[in-house]
Each structure stands twice: as C-alpha cells, then as structure tokens.
Structure 1
C-alpha cells in the first residue's frame, strides 16, 4: 500500500502575483465603473459642445473661449443653477420632461435653448463625423418644448426652421416674416429654432461667427460667463456612492480600508502558511509502530511501567559492546555489568530505579542515567 505526497502546483511567488493581479484588476474595475460616464469619448458625435461634427457645437464653445477667454462645461446637475448663460442643445431623442426640468430650474437665470434639426448617424470610417439621413420633423421639435411653451416650429422655403407662439417675442427673423430666434416673455430663455445659427457648419463664415456670438451674448451684462450643458448628452458626472469612495473626503477612509484588508491577508498568509499535504491513515516503518505503541501507552497511563523493558535493552547492548561471555545466567551477567564502571552507580541499581519508577518524570531520569552508563562503559563519550 503506497501513497504519493500531494504538492501544490504553484509556487509562493506565483500565488502572490496572482493575488496582486486580482486585487489590481478588482480596484481597476471599481474605478472604471465609478467613472464610466466621465471616461466616455469626448469626440463622439452628437449635438453637444464637445462634438466636432457638422451638427456639433465645439466651434461655438471655442468661439466663446477665444472671445471671452474661457468657457464652462456643465457636467453635474448641481451646476445647472449657475448664474452664467447656459446653452442647452437638444438631441432629436431628448424627452420633453428633461427640457421642462432644466427650464423650470433656471426660471430666473438666462438660458439659450437650441432645438434639433438634423437626423444623423456616425460615419464608420471617421467616428467623430456624422452622415445625415434626413431632418427631424418640425412637429417633433415642437413636441420637445410643448411643456415649456405653446409654440409651433415650421420650415420656410429656404429650409430654415422658424418658431411662432403667443408667449414668444421675436428676436431674429428670417426676412420673410418668420422668426428664427425668439425669447420667452415670462423668463430669460432664448429659443433658437434653427441650430445652424450656432452649430459647426453655421460658423464656417465670418458672418456666421458674428451672428452666433451675437446670440450667445444676448443676455450678457458684462459679469456673466457662458456655459454649455453636457448633462443631456450623457457626459454628466453626478456623484454616486461608488465614486464618493474614491474622492475626498472619503478617499482616506477607502485607502485605510484597503491597507487593512492587505494587512489582514498578509497576516493570514504568515499565520497559517501553505496547506499541509494529506497524511496517511497508517504510517510506514518501525518508527510508526513505535509511535503508535507509545501513543497507546500514553493513553493507558502506563508509560512509567516500561522502565524494566528499557533496562533489558541497555543490558543486551552493553553486553554485546563489551564482549561479555556468552550464555551467562542473568545474575552473573548483572554482576559482570556492575564491575564495568567502578566509579559510578552500578547497573543493577540503575535498572532497579527504572523498573520501579512511579511516574513518567522518574522514568525519564532513570532512563537518562542508564543511557549515560552505557555510553561510559562502551567508551561512546
């Protein structure tokens, strides 16, 4: 009956590297999950102030930066209450509820609301560019602001979008009696019916840039800046519980918890060590037999009764080592062994002490004395 010892297929260094990679990967997953919105490609196409496509408004943002020296990008819902002029550009898919939420929130703050016009899709060869496949129906644009004001968006003979309504006051006309840009009479909100007045393709000429800057500065009193809303386009960085764990003032607590977890893992590794291989139910060899016998004696409480057996082993070993005459009777052999060490305690006295030991401690003392006597008479010391 045989058994091969089980051994781990990995070294300690390999296990540590795997654990380290797992920890780093888990922390990276948490960071990417927390900041997924902030890490989205800024150049993805759309009707927002970071888009460089024809229907984007990156040109308007750059124009404001060049004229006023700075431009703001609103990524948090809490920043929608800014006193700066906020430019809100709508997508064809923006819901009327979201438009109403922003306009109601900024009832007393200047806002420029740019309606959508073009239906586009990204170009496969150049993802930052778009390809137009039509126009958003004017009635859909009217529906997007229906909860803000009763207005009708139409399209004139030149393809320009116009807006009309009882609650609107015209600002810029199309030259044919229509209104391209109007403001709400009840609050400082400018509605741009045709986005080509502000988007990138509308800024390709100097006249277009001047007209766009005139619109953007409509509410400027000298103390206000200009900001572009990005929350409607998925660039929001609204705080969440996971992100708060990696930002002040909670970042030190997160680091302390991480360090505590690493220390606990290290302590466990040093405390318990590698897993022990499974041992045999029945061990091999004479040593195993001796250990099993000793265990039985220990359980029975009879270890101190083995002194006479040990004395007999010492007698036979000493007789063989000193060339004692063969076939001596036990008494004669004992007398022979007593004469071997004339200066120390005789063998029979030592054997008697071992045979009459009353406890394990006394047995150990007697056994050591017998062993030392054997070394002396056999010149092993």
Structure 2
C-alpha cells in the first residue's frame, strides 16, 4: 500500500518570504516613527505659535522659507537641540518659565546664536458654530484669532535679557503701521503693534515708523560684559514679521531672509534648529532614539544586515531533504536500539551503560554455562572449571561498571563479549 500524499503547504516559499518581509518593514517603520517623534495627526499645534503650526500665528511658513534659502533645518523635539552650534529659534508660549528660558540663553552664549520670537496672538480652533460653508474652506491647522495678549515672562527675565512689552494700535479703525530694518521696509498685517522697551545695551534690528523697537539683539559674555567671542541673543517682539500671517507679504518675507542672514553671519552658519520643546512637544531621549543616531547607527545597521542574512538562510535547505516515504518513526528492534543509543550520545550519559550491559552479559553466560540463575559467584566457579586460564567474570564486570570514558567502556564490554565467545567455542584442545 502506497504512503498517503503529504498535504500541501499552507504558504509557498514566496508567500512566507513576503509575509516576513512585510512584517519586518512594518516593524522598522514603527520603531522609526517612535524614535523620530513624527507628528502623525492632531491639529498641528491646536492654536499655538510654533514651528509646526499652520495657523496665522504659526511659523510653519518660516520653516519652509528658511529651508528654501539653503539652510539645513531641523524641528527639534528634544532638549538636545539646545546644544546645536547653529542658529536656535525659540518660540516660547504665553506662559513660559522665565528662569528656564534664561538658563537656556546663558548656556548658549558660547555655543551658537539664538533667536527668541515673542508670542502675541491668542488663537483657538475655529468655533463649532461656524457656518458649514465657511467651515469647508478651513484647512487643517487653521485657527481663529481672538485678540492680543502681552506675555509677562519678558519682564521676569534676569539681566541682561529683561525687557518690557507694550501694545499699541489696539483700537477700532487703526491702520497698520510701517516698519523698517536691515535694509527692508513695509507694513505690518494688523494695526496692533507689540514692541519692546529693553534695558541696557542692545543693537536695534527692526523698528516701526514711530521708532518703537520691534526686534533687538544682545551680545554679552560672562558677567554680562561685552565679549566678541559670545554669540548674540535676538528678541523679535513683533511676531507678525515672522508668522504665517506676516510672511504672506513679500517685504516681510524679505525682512526675515535678511534677519536670518544677519544671525548666521551671511550663512556661514548653515544649521537652523526650530525648538518645539517649550511648546510642549518635547520627547525624552531613549535607547530607541539613540539607536538611529551616530555613532550607534552603525551598530543598528549591522544588526539589521545580520537579521536579513539569518532570514535568508532560514529559507535555504540545510543538508539533503528528509525521506518522504515511510512513517515518521521507523519500527523494529534495530531502530529502537539506534534511537536509544542516539539519546545516550546526545545526553552524554555514558556511565549509565556499564551496569545494564554487565547484567545482560551475566544472563548470557549463565545460559551458556547451564546455570539456573545469573549469579556472579556461580558464573566465576563454572568458568574456573570450563576455562581455568581466563580472567573471572566478576573482575571484567567490575571493570565495565567502573569505566567512565567511551573508550574504556568499549574495551570492558569487548572483554565480556570475548568471554562469551570463548564459551561458545569450548576449551582449547592440545
């Protein structure tokens, strides 16, 4: 009777490979997104003014503008971004810890330049009672402007950074005012003007038509003393020059290009980092994040290549194909002996062989000597009569039971087999 045909495999080799490859790709994508802290959904800041916000008060347009000028731009969600040697752009919210901000500014005096954009507008998501026709025109991340709020943290900053904010033009019928600075000039998008009244030495960058300071720079070293080696800290008190609303105008966009060229010394500094941690988008460092950053990136890539090699080898055959005919477990005494021997070899328990084999030899010798029981003393006495010149059975059995190494066990077992063979042949004749 022929053996039954093997059932077809659930998946072909190609199908299994596709499943494994797809799973690995999805897993790698997952850990990359976790490590990078990518923004996967949400409302793009929910009304806040930061580098990832698309609303009127956000700075997503400024990020794209700076990238278009050839700078290497990064939106940082880690405090490690404070240590960049390039230009660091901070956009603190209305409620900011002045002491924490001052610590960042002090630590960056000899690391790189810093630009601080002061918040201005109180913005929220579009109200739910917005007419459907109007709501259809809204894009993701858009906001509704509810008025101007003056932050208190500028006055709480320690010297030399402290300054006072003042709001002008917040009245009905007021017209947008003009501004100028760094060789550019134009009009602000709204009549409400937020300007600064700094304390101490500073360099004025932008002013309005009345001479009010819209942006200024402080460059002091240790102990707040002038130091050419120190990097400047620039405060942009009027964010309408830099936010998405402001960059809709060509002159204001040109002013921001001039400002970034000035802060980077004519693009000698090529890296610009927009911080998001002060706006609540910070992500702590972890092993997964470090695995995709130099110098650990090399080890991660090596591990991935090793996994690919292991996966490829898993689909290859090791040795000849297994026999498809016959039962999975062969029957018979020979196969049983082979299986038992293989198990002993794998377990390396050779010491368990001596005593059973000696008992087996005793039964075989007793049978050939005509003894009723395989008693070792009786076997020795019978052997002394039949083969007086041979070594007694008990000595050979003791040597087998005491053997530990495979070679000693084999030699002692052969000695017992030789004794049985001699009995079968009979005593030597003269």
Structure 2 Cα separation of the partners of residues 122 and 261 of structure 1: 51
CA contact (8 A) 2:49 2:93 kept: yes
Larger radius of gyration: 1
Partner of 2:245, secondary structure, is helix
CA contact (8 A) 2:116 2:233 kept: yes
Structure 2 residue 142 is matched with structure 1 residue 129: yes
Structure 1 runs not aligned, ≥5 long: 1-9, 274-286, 292-297, 307-357, 364-381
Q: Deviations over 1:138-193 (max 9, x none)?
A: 214545x4587222223223422222232353443344464221222525211011
**Count of aligned positions:** 288
Deviation at 1:303, TM superposition (A): 8.5
Which runs of 4 or more aligned residues in structure 1 lie more than 6 Å from their structure 2 counterparts after TM superposition? 16-20, 234-239, 263-267, 298-306
For residues 89-238 of structure 1, the aligned pairs below 5 Å read: 89-92=91-94, 95-96=97-98, 99-108=101-110, 109-122=112-125, 126-140=139-153, 142-143=155-156, 145-146=157-158, 149-158=161-170, 159-167=192-200, 169=202, 170-176=204-210, 178-186=212-220, 188-219=232-263, 221-225=265-269, 227-233=271-277
Structure 2 Cα separation of the partners of residues 103 and 264 of structure 1: 55
**Residue matched to 2:74:** 74
Structure 2 runs not aligned, ≥5 long: 1-7, 129-137, 171-191, 221-230, 323-331, 337-356, 368-418, 425-430
Partner of 2:266, secondary structure, is coil
CA contact (8 A) 1:180 1:193 kept: yes
Deviates more, 1:231-240 or 1:36-45: 231-240
Root-mean-square deviation (Å): 5.4
Structure 2 Cα separation of the partners of residues 221 and 71 of structure 1: 13
**Residue matched to 1:248:** 297
**Residue matched to 1:40:** 38
Partner of 2:246, secondary structure, is helix
Deviation at 1:73, TM superposition (A): 1.3
Structure 2 Cα separation of the partners of residues 33 and 133 of structure 1: 40
**Residue matched to 1:320:** none
Structure 1 Cα separation of the partners of residues 10 and 243 of structure 2: 61
Deviation at 1:250, TM superposition (A): 0.7
Structure 1 Cα separation of the partners of residues 160 and 282 of structure 2: 23
CA contact (8 A) 1:75 1:230 kept: yes
Deviation at 1:201, TM superposition (A): 0.5
Structure 1 Cα separation of the partners of residues 215 and 71 of structure 2: 23
Deviation at 1:203, TM superposition (A): 1.9
Change (3 A) 1:231 1:207: closer
TM-score (norm: length of structure 1): 0.54
CA contact (8 A) 1:100 1:148 kept: no
CA contact (8 A) 1:113 1:189 kept: yes
Partner of 1:90, secondary structure, is coil
Structure 2 residue 65 is matched with structure 1 residue 53: no
TM-score (norm: length of structure 2): 0.49
Deviation at 1:244, TM superposition (A): 4.3
CA contact (8 A) 2:88 2:275 kept: no
CA contact (8 A) 2:261 2:267 kept: no
Structure 2 Cα separation of the partners of residues 256 and 32 of structure 1: 18
Partner of 2:255, secondary structure, is helix
**Residue matched to 2:402:** none
Change (3 A) 1:22 1:42: closer
CA contact (8 A) 1:167 1:185 kept: no
